[in-house]
Amino acid sequence: MSVTVYIQNLKSSAGIAGDVGELLGQIDELHSKKMWHQLTEAVLTIVKTDFLQQSGLMEFYKNVLVDFEHKINPLTLVEIILYLIREITDPNEAITFMEGIKEKVKNNMEAKVLCMISIGSFNLKVSSLQAVKSVVEEAGKELDSVSGITKVHARYYDLCSNYHKIRADHTAYYHDALHFLGCIDLADLSRDEQTDRAFSLGLAALLGKDVYNFGELLGHPVIRVLQGTDKQWLIDVMYAFNAGNIEKFEKLGPLWQQQPDLFQNQDNLLRKIRLLALMELVFRRHAHDRSVTFSDVSKAANVPETDVEMLVMKALSLGLVKGQIDEVRQEIAMHWVQPRVLDLTQAENLKDRMNEWCGQIKNTIHYVKDEVPDAILSH
């Protein structure tokens, strides 16, 4: 069946008029005139309409798009296909179809990767995690060769985060979910999607074994959707962790303990916030005064002094701090703490210390000017 005959039959069988009817007429005319760019734009518009989704998306592909798909920009073709395959309910059938499209666009890296991501998403639906892992690794290698961020990156990080979420890999989910948000306009997500992602990210930050930096998430607009809701407690818990505030964390216990994942991991959470309390203790000390006593650490991390050495050794092994333990003097000489994205309170503290440091420099300059003869200074 020719494109013209199919479109005429589609218009007559549906008895449509108005914008959709006019759009179908444009597609027929643009196709006959071989105006491929304009035709592509028209197709991109019509595949998003309720009319075509009800009339048969794959029929449209077979009778219209397949006739000139080789004339379309490969990446745009895949973008169109992603709307069409929503009609395919069998994930395995969808995978087979997308494998065929991938072969057609194999010479265009972004289009090929987008096909791979789609295939990975369908594999995720049938819980074929090994297949998803292969897609994630292969697509990641392809995207590593691209400079900058493309429209494909967001879909890639979305697939990665969904994969890690199913595997309960909280650290990997946290990083890839943040990467995804960095590739999109937050307004493109519905309020419910924003809430779900903010809550999932918050849990991942708390549960992730290697996540000791909460500032990036706390400073992200997505977290604000939880403010004033019944999930506000999650923000409060994250702020307690970011500041190493064990007392506040324990006061919020009646709220966060209602969340099953947090309740089941409360011992791990306590160990983690104690490490953050140690980091905060070191961070708040001046660079020239970072020798802390076992007693200081014991109070800050709420642990017996007999457990301080083990806590510090854990922090050292994780690379959260650097220093030496003096068992005889019961002191720890710290000279480095892992950089973190600061919240407003921490930034204010850092500003005060910078101002104090500038004041000390000015005093030193004045002292030198007063004590050293002008003749020496002139040379």
Q: Which backbone phi and psi does 39 adopt, to 5 degrees?
A: -65, -40
pLDDT bucket at 346, cuts 50 / 70 / 90: low
Please state the rounded mean pLDDT for residues 178-195: 95
By percentage, how much of the chain surpasses pLDDT 70? 89
Q: Is the model more confident about 370 or about 231? A: 231
Distance CA 254, CA 262 (A): 11
Distance CA 79, CA 296 (A): 58
Closest CA to 240 of 262, 225, 221, 264: 262
β-bridge mates for residue 293, sequence order: 331
Q: Identify the burial level of 262 via C-beta atoms within 10 angstroms of its C-beta, where 0-12 means exposed, 13-18 middle and 19 or more buried.
A: buried
Res 286: pLDDT: 75
Residues with Cβ within 8 Å of 375's Cβ and at least 6 positions away in sequence, in order, are none
Structure-token pair, residue 360: 């000390």
- The CA-atom distances, in angstroms, between 281 and each of 112, 213, 293, 331, 332 are 50, 15, 11, 14, 12
- The CA-atom distances, in angstroms, between 262 and each of 206, 216, 245 are 8, 21, 17
pLDDT bucket at 360, cuts 50 / 70 / 90: low
Residue with tokens 């990080």: 157
pLDDT bucket at 342, cuts 50 / 70 / 90: low
Lowest-pLDDT range of 10-24, 115-129, 171-185, 218-232:
10-24
| In the predicted structure, residue 344 carries a pLDDT above the cut 70 | no
Q: Is the model more confident about 246 or about 2? A: 246
Please state the rounded mean pLDDT for residues 278-302: 89
The 10s digit of each residue's pLDDT in 58-103 is 999 999 999 999 999 999 999 999 999 999 999 999 999 999 999 9
- The CA-atom distances, in angstroms, between 222 and each of 13, 202, 203, 219 are 46, 11, 14, 9
Lowest-pLDDT range of 1-10, 156-165, 262-271, 352-361:
352-361
Res 366: pLDDT: 66
Res 367: pLDDT: 67
β-bridge mates for residue 326, sequence order: 331
| In the predicted structure, residue 303 carries a pLDDT above the cut 80 | yes
Distance CA 155, CA 177 (A): 11
- The CA-atom distances, in angstroms, between 338 and each of 60, 156, 222, 301 are 56, 29, 25, 17
The 10s digit of each residue's pLDDT in 152-183 is 999 999 999 999 999 999 999 999 999 999 99
Task: Count CB atoms within 10 A of the CB of residue 1.
Answer: 10
By percentage, how much of the chain surpasses pLDDT 90? 72
What is the domain partition of the chain in residue ranges? 1-72, 280-341, 350-379
Is the CB of residue 203 less than 8 Å from the CB of residue 256?
no
Res 147: pLDDT: 82
- The CA-atom distances, in angstroms, between 19 and each of 45, 54, 64 are 11, 16, 19
Give the number of residues written for the chain: 379
Could you please state the CATH topology (level 3) that the domain comprising 280-341 is classified under. Answer: Arc Repressor Mutant, subunit A (1.10.10)
Distance CA 309, CA 330 (A): 9
The 10s digit of each residue's pLDDT in 125-160 is 999 999 999 999 999 999 998 888 888 999 999 999
Closest CA to 25 of 41, 40, 11: 11
